[in-house]
């Protein structure tokens, strides 16, 4: 940190103080995900704080997987986590670690705690342990096995490691204080027996450390100076400190901040798993999910996610951030970066009756008015076009400035056209609109100075591509789906209109070469991204976000 740069939040203020008083002479932080699911935007806040804070102080940051539960962990999750962090723009270089790297050392430290009389093997069942633990208002009581001798505990613990006992039959517990007001200090479990294959250590171990035992010591082994974590871990800090002090090892400082909560969104990993496993969504990377992989697939720029997190800020008190702010950040980036294209989502044929049959012209179109360097492209124009069905009204309401009988509009980058007729099928549905064009108005300007109030987009019917459009919206239709009336669950409030499929959209031919991940503004319609399912023969686009925030308006209809 520059001498002239003031800390921007309470975490930076605390770290600056630590450096000034000599508690630490450098800064090392870490992001410690459990590889048992995909990262969501709440994790993105933690990543930006953990890694961003280190960058502020010219420090280092580690990526460490706290892989202490082989039953729930998979290499798939490890790979997805790394991809997400890189997508956010962070590089941990060669500092990739795993709690499983430290299993031997953690075991030796557990033996040390037993030898010091600070840990014991307990034969109580999991249900009995919960019963003995007490409650927030009632103290716990000691296990009948708490006063075993050091020698007996060492023998039993070694047998646990050697696989002599079945799952759940014994645990190793820290001997602290069963009457503590902090339930985390009531002889917490350190090791449990699990005859399970680990994704990195294989079948070497049949006992695995609990997260609360492994977490602080792993920080210590890596020389992490500042453990930055959310407020849920504040009550665990005395336990982490207790282990470190009993072992006499490097003492990391833990600082807590408020986790991210987002309106119209569920961030509970348990609930996200439920959405996936019960197939309410199409996987972890469904574009409606708050996972980073889902947001990336939907077309969110990583800069928008980071900008949103910066705007939310770092606080000690929890509050709910408005998803409209996130969508604003997405629009702000895409408005500057996304090229404009013409796409008709609900096509209606428009025939220019006085335009020569078989003739095609190339109209010059601006790629991005916010970026001159994006240049222009040529768009084919012909006698038959597609326009949006909503851009024509047989009986237009007052102040309807698009196409209607006898009404003239400007075709974007094309000509002025005036409606002369229309055709209906036997069901009364309008199938064609007939117009005449003014050849003197090429480019959308009239040499006689006459004005038209409406401009609509179009696609040449002879050159149009057909694509699949997936229109995504908010997954939930209430602001706080995690807090619903008794008798309901968050599942009762899934938005039935969160996903709508359109198989008949018509695209200008420049999109033929669009590839997965490319993002565009469909003029007048919104921002869209090419989906990973897309192929040159079957283009698929996801709606990233509408041009404007229309949610409240639609909900109040």
Annotated catalytic residues are 34, 259, 269
Instruction: Say if CB 245 and CB 302 are below 8 A apart.
Output: no
Listing DSSP states for 438-494 in one string gives: EGGGTTT--TT----S-EE--EETTT-EEEEEEEE--SBSSS-TTS--TT--GGGGB
Q: Give the containing element (helix H, strand E) for 327.
A: helix 323-337
268: alpha, beta or left? (left if phi > 0; alpha if psi -120 to 50): beta
The rounded distance, in Å, linking the Cα atoms of 539 and 517 is: 12
By CB atoms closer than 10 A (0-12, 13-18, 19+), residue 447 is exposed
Q: In terms of C-beta density within 10 A (0-12 exposed, 13-18 middle, 19 or more buried), how is residue 262 classed?
A: buried
How far is the C-alpha of 457 from the C-alpha of 522, rounded, in Å? 10
3-state secondary structure of 181: coil
CA distances from 543 to 259, 465, 517 (A): 28, 17, 12
CA distance 525 to 545: 9
Contact between 410 and 416 under an 8 Å Cβ cutoff? The reply is yes
Of 383, 379, 340, nearest to 363 by C-alpha is 379
Residue 402 to residue 48: CA distance in whole angstroms:
46
Alpha-carbon torsion angle 266, 271, 277, 279, nearest 10: -40
Contacts of 529 (CB under 8 A, 6+ apart): 297, 298, 299, 517, 518, 519, 520, 541, 542, 544
Three-point CA angle 263, 269, 270, nearest 5°? 110
State the Cα–Cα distance between residues 525 and 542, nearest whole angstrom: 12
DSSP string, 61-109: EEEEE----TTT--HHHHHHHHHHHHHHT---TT-EEEGGGGHHHHHHH
Nearest alpha carbon to residue 481 among 308, 272, 258, 232: 272
- Here the tokens at position 130 are 């919960």
Cβ atoms 169, 150 nearer than 8 A: no
CB–CB of 529/542 below 8 Å?
Answer: yes
CB-neighbour burial class of residue 509 (10 A; exposed 0-12, middle 13-18, buried 19+): middle
Q: How far is CA 3 from CA 54, 55, 270, 297, 488, in A?
A: 16, 15, 44, 41, 54
């Amino acid at each position: 940190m520059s001498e002239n740069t003031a800390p921007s939040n309470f975490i930076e203020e605390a770290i600056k103080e630590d450096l000034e008083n000599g508690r630490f002479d450098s800064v090392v932080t870490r992001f410690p995900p459990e590889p048992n699911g995909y990262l969501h935007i709440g994790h993105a806040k933690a990543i930006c704080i953990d890694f961003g804070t280190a960058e502020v102080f010219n420090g280092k940051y580690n990526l460490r997987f706290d892989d202490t539960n082989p039953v729930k962990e998979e290499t798939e999750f490890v790979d997805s986590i790394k991809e997400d962090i890189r997508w956010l723009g962070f590089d941990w270089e060669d500092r990739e670690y795993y709690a499983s790297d430290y299993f031997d050392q953690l075991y030796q430290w557990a033996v040390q705690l037993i030898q010091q009389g600070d840990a014991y093997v307990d034969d109580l069942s999991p249900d009995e342990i919960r019963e003995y633990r007490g409650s927030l208002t009632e103290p716990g009581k000691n296990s009948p096995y708490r006063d075993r001798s050091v020698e007996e505990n060492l023998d039993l613990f070694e047998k646990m490691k050697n696989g002599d006992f079945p799952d759940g039959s014994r645990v190793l517990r820290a001997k602290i204080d069963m009457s503590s007001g902090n339930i985390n200090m009531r002889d917490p479990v350190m090791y449990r027996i699990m005859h399970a294959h680990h994704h990195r250590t294989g079948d070497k171990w049949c006992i695995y450390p609990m997260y609360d035992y492994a977490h602080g010591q792993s920080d210590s082994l890596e020389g992490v100076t500042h453990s930055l974590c959310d407020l849920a871990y504040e009550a665990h800090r005395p336990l982490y400190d207790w282990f470190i002090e009993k072992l006499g090892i490097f003492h990391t400082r833990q600082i807590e901040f408020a986790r991210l909560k987002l309106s119209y969104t569920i961030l509970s990993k348990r609930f996200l798993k439920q959405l996936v496993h019960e197939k309410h969504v199409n996987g972890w990377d469904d574009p409606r999910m708050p996972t980073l992989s889902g947001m990336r697939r939907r077309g969110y720029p990583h800069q928008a996610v980071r900008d949103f997190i910066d705007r939310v800020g770092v606080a000690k008190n929890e509050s709910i951030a408005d998803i409209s702010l996130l969508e604003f950040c997405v629009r702000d980036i895409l408005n500057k970066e996304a090229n404009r294209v013409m796409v008709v989502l609900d096509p209606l044929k428009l025939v220019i009756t006085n335009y020569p049959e078989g003739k095609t012209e190339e109209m010059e179109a601006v790629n991005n008015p916010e970026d001159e360097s994006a240049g222009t492209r040529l768009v084919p124009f012909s006698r038959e076009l597609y326009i949006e069905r909503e851009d024509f009204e047989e009986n237009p309401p007052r102040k309807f400035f698009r196409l209607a009988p006898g009404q003239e509009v400007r075709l974007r980058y094309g000509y002025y056209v005036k409606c002369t007729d229309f055709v209906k099928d036997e069901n009364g549905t309008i199938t064609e609109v007939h117009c005449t064009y003014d050849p003197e108005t090429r480019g959308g300007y009239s040499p006689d100075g006459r004005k038209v109030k409406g401009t609509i987009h179009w696609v040449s019917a002879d050159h149009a591509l057909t694509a699949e459009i997936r229109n995504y919206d908010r997954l939930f239709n209430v602001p706080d789906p995690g807090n619903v009336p008794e008798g309901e669950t968050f599942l009762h409030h899934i938005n039935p209109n969160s996903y709508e499929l359109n198989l008949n959209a018509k695209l200008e031919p420049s999109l033929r070469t669009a590839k997965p991940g490319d993002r565009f503004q469909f003029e007048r319609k919104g921002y869209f991204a090419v989906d990973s399912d897309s192929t040159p023969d079957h283009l698929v686009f996801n709606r990233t976000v509408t041009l404007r925030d229309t949610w409240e308006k639609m909900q109040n209809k």
